[in-house]
Structure formats: structure tokens, C-alpha cells
Amino acid sequence: MEVIRCDSLTKRAEPKQPWMNRVTEDDPKFWEWLSWVCVTNMHTGKDNVERARLQLNQPEGVHLWQRMSGCEWDDETDDVTGYYQYAFDGEDFISLDLSTETWVAAKPQAFATKLRWEKNGETERKKFYIHDIFAKWLKNVVRYGEDTLKRTVLPEVSLLQKSPSSPVTCHATGFYPDRAKLFWTKDGEELEDIGEILPNGDGTFQSFVDLDLSSVPAEDWDKFSCVFQLSGVKEQTIITKLERDKIRTNAKSPKIAIIAGLLVLGVAVIIIAAVALVVRKSRA
């Protein structure tokens, strides 16, 4: 979920969630300070692009310098871990190994950056940001948006099948948070495939997992179930048993096709009879 954005055009940091405006309760000058950080990072990024371009012997032109950084906080143990990763033109360049407190060069050309950053105290600065700045931000964000971030929303679960010979897809959508698991079971035993978690446009998530029934006899279908489970919240588990009448499909039922055909034929006969009656009357 996006909570803050730095706009390179306005050179201002701005909240992306209404509850992030509460940050001024703790720090009235927060947005002013973060906007300064925003501009500083843009200048630093520009310098890093040029350094990396020269080290990689790349021509002048448009180049991309990417940084991913952040921290993870366990609110039960209060443990904090973090990371810093950099890339040039979409390829890994250098990253921080926090366990050894060293920089790892992804390319030989990045070794000069590794030596420079380890010598000028960049490692200590990044450790400080992770354990003090980032961790403090994260804890405050969780506090400001607690009602939203700590909510749990169960999904709508559907069984889908394109055709009678296609795999049956279990689809769960609209759940929150993304710490969830979707899988099939047979006789209560979990099968290996687990659904991938994907974002929805409204901030919720969806997942789907397929079940190939091509070698499963029809009388054994009732042994299978689709299970949705929020991580660590077993009481919020949804179990959907595999039953034919629960499967939504685009394929037409033979009975429905026959009935539809008879209805069309009946309408055609009525129209022909009506036309014949009109012709007779006009001749009379």
C-alpha cells in the first residue's frame, strides 16, 4: 500500500492515505523535512547514475538508477531487519548484506563503489536509517493507519472451469491482508501447488490455484476441497468442497442447448403459421 509519494515535479513529499496526515501530531515539520530528503535523494541519484555509467563504460544518454530499501518489523518480538539494493538500467549493481555489514558487488565494475562506501561510512549510515529512521516510520505508520492496516477481510471464493476438460480453478478475491494461502486438499491432505497472491485495484488481494482432474474418476471428486486461510488466523479459514453444481463455467449444458433449440424451433413454427394465415386472409 502506497502511503507517501515524492513528486519530482513539485519537489514535495505528500501523503497518499488520509490517515498519514496524522504524522504532524508527532512532528509538525515532517512534510517539510521529508521534502528536503526527497530533493536530496534526487541529486544523489543523479550523481550515482553518472558514477555507475562511467564504471560500466556506458555511453551518455538516458540511464536508470534504482534503489529499493526498507525494513521489516515483527511487532511481537520487536525485531527489525532491513535491506538496501541498487540497480543500473534494470540490472543488479550493488546491495548491502546487513548480516556481515558489507556491500556485495553484483558486477566487477561495482567493486569500486563497494570499497568507497565501506571506507566512507556508508554502511553505518544505512544501518542507522534501517534501525532508527525506517523502523520509527514503520511503527508510526502502523499506529496511524491501524484501523485500515490491521483489518481482516475474507474473500469471495469461486470454482471456475472453462470447459469440462479444463482444470478447475479455485479463485479467491477481495481479501486483506496479503498474508494468505490458497490451496487444494485431497482427503484433508494439502496438495503441493499454492496460489500466487496478486493485488486488486481497490487495495485488496486475489489468488487462484488450479486442479487437474483429467485422471480423477468422477466418483472421487468429493475427496477434494479448496482451502483459503489467512496466515496465523485459523478461525478465518474458508473451505470450499469440490461439487459440480458449485462450478461456474462458460460451457453450455447439453440439456440447456436442447431446450434452447426447441424454443427457437417453436418460435419459427409460430412465425411461419402466422405468415401463412396472413397470406390466406389476403387472398380471400
pLDDT for 267 equals: 44
Average pLDDT (194-205) is 92
Q: What is the DSSP letter of 202?
A: T
105 dihedral zone (left: phi>0; alpha: psi -120 to 50; beta): beta
Instruction: Look at 140 and 260; give whichever has higher pLDDT.
Output: 140
C-alpha cell at 80: 527489525
pLDDT for 232 equals: 61
pLDDT for 253 equals: 46
**Residue 246 · residue 176 · CB < 8 Å:** no
How many other C-beta atoms can be found within 10 angstroms of the C-beta atom of residue 212? 11
Residues of the chain with CATH 2.60.40.10: 156-249
Share of the chain above pLDDT 70, in %: 87
pLDDT for 236 equals: 84
pLDDT for 280 equals: 53
Task: Report the side by side order of strands in the sheet with 156-161.
Answer: 196-199, 205-211, 168-175, 156-161, 247-249
Which numeric CATH code is attached to 156-249?
A: 2.60.40.10
Q: Decide: helix, strand or coil at residue 23.
A: helix
How far apart (Å, rounded) are the C-alpha atoms in residues 187 and 193?
16
Average pLDDT (231-249) is 85
pLDDT for 233 equals: 62
Burial class (CB in 10 A: 0-12, 13-18, 19+), 182: buried
pLDDT for 261 equals: 47
Residues of the chain with CATH 3.30.500.10: 4-149
4-149 has which fold? 3.30.500
**Contacts by residues 126-130 (CB-CB < 8 Å, ≥ 24 positions apart):** 126/69, 126/84, 126/96, 127/98, 127/101, 129/69, 129/82, 130/69, 130/71, 130/80, 130/81, 130/82, 130/83, 130/84, 130/98
| Residue with the three cell numbers 480423477 | 216
Least confident span in 11-15, 113-117, 135-139, 248-252: 248-252
- 208: closest CA among 252, 250, 175? 175
**pLDDT digit string, tens, across residues 59-88:** 999 999 999 999 999 888 999 999 999 999
The continuous run of DSSP H or E covering 209 comes out as: strand 205-211
Residue 269 binned pLDDT confidence (cut-offs 50, 70, 90):
very low
Who's near 214: CB < 8 A, 6+ residues apart? Answer: 165
Share of the chain above pLDDT 90, in %: 71
**pLDDT digit string, tens, across residues 124-148:** 999 999 999 999 999 999 999 999 8
How far apart (Å, rounded) are the C-alpha atoms in residues 149 and 233?
15
pLDDT above 60 for 32: yes
